[in-house]
Amino acid sequence: MGNIWTITKRELRGYFASPVAFVFIVIFLLLAGFFTFMIAQFFKVGQATLSQTSYSPMFFGWHPWLYLFLVPAVGMRMWSEERRLGTIELLLTMPITPWQAILGKFLASWAVVAIALALTFPVWITVNYLGNPDNGVIVGGYIGSLLMAGAYLSITAMTSAMTRNQVVAFIVAVVISLFLILAGFPPVTDMLVTWAQPWIVDLIAAFSVMTHFESIQKGVLDSRDILYFVSVMAFCLFTTSTIIRAHRAG
């Protein structure tokens, strides 16, 4: 536990010593604001809820897309940088387990996203000022959004363990995440049903972050959805440890 925290602290310092964290937070806030207020015409939808009303994506509705590019940008350095600098050799010859290193790094990057997400609180205040939103739904939206970011980050952890090149790690992570979005993206599933059995479409959609994020942000905190995000993280981090072990073995 102590070792995980030591590594998380170091990584967080690293994020804030380089512009990565600031750039991410600023861009995230700008884009989240832009999409919410400009495109969804937040102010014109008389009733202020932070969640989706039918298919008009409001605040949280944009998050799967925002994260698609922003989260891999945060996570891409996680292991690539370690390999590029050779510090992985230092880190893994310390008296710590590889799992402590993997978790410590993962938690640090997750914390960066969490900070960005937390900084959207003015939006929350605004909607409470403008109307009478269901705050339970909003809290659910935040939890779902954080879980989704964690899932994307674990994918990025995995891709960054594969290569010393951050750009490659970024691109591969974006592609995998895009698949996870599209598998349950209504326009895509609508198209799929014209070719395939509905149960196949449902099965594919069950692997999508969209399917699970949607119900959470509607305020339904279903344990299955939470389980989905946790499983994605567990699976990807486990794969990360396998990749690192294979890389060490040569």
**Position 18 contacts another protein (CB under 8 A):** yes
What letters, b where the CB count within 10 A reaches 16 and e where it falls short, cover 190-209?
eebeeeeeeeebeebbeebb
User: Should residue 86 be labelled a site residue for another protein when binding is judged by CB under 8 A?
Assistant: yes
Quick one: which segment of 42-50, 84-92, 147-155, 173-181 binds another protein (CB under 8 A)? 84-92
Binding of another protein by 134 (CB under 8 A) = no
Residue with tokens 């861009």, as numbered in its chain: 27
The answer to whether residue 94 forms part of the interface with another protein (CB under 8 A) is: yes
Q: Give the span between the Cα atoms of 17 and 113, in whole angstroms.
A: 16
**Choices 3-11, 30-38, 139-147, 178-186 (CB under 8 A): range interacting with another protein:** 3-11
Q: Rule CB under 8 A: is residue 242 a binding residue for another protein? A: no
* Shortest distance, position 144 Cβ to another protein, whole Å: 32
Neighbours of 187 (CB within 10 A): 9
Q: CA nearest 102: which of 110, 13, 187, 124?
A: 110
- Contact call for residue 19 and another protein (CB under 8 A): no
Is residue 165 at the binding interface for another protein, with CB under 8 A as the rule? no
Listed in sequence order, the DSSP H helices in the chain are: 2-17, 20-33, 63-75, 77-85, 87-91, 98-118, 121-130, 135-162, 166-182, 186-193, 198-206, 209-217, 223-249
17 in contact with another protein (CB under 8 A): yes
- Segment lying near another protein (by CB under 8 A), choices 9-17, 25-33, 164-172, 219-227: 9-17
- 119 is a site residue for another protein (CB under 8 A): no
Nearer to another protein, 9 or 234 (CB): 9
By CB under 8 A, is residue 13 in contact with another protein?
yes
Smallest gap from residue 84 Cβ to another protein (A)? 10
| Distance in angstroms (rounded) separating the CA atoms of residues 57 and 14 | 34
Alpha carbons 76 and 79: distance in angstroms, whole number? 7
C-beta of 96: minimal distance to another protein in Å?
6
CA distance 240 to 113: 20
Chain positions contacting another protein, by CB under 8 A: 2-3, 6-7, 10, 13-14, 17-18, 85-87, 89-90, 92-97, 248-250
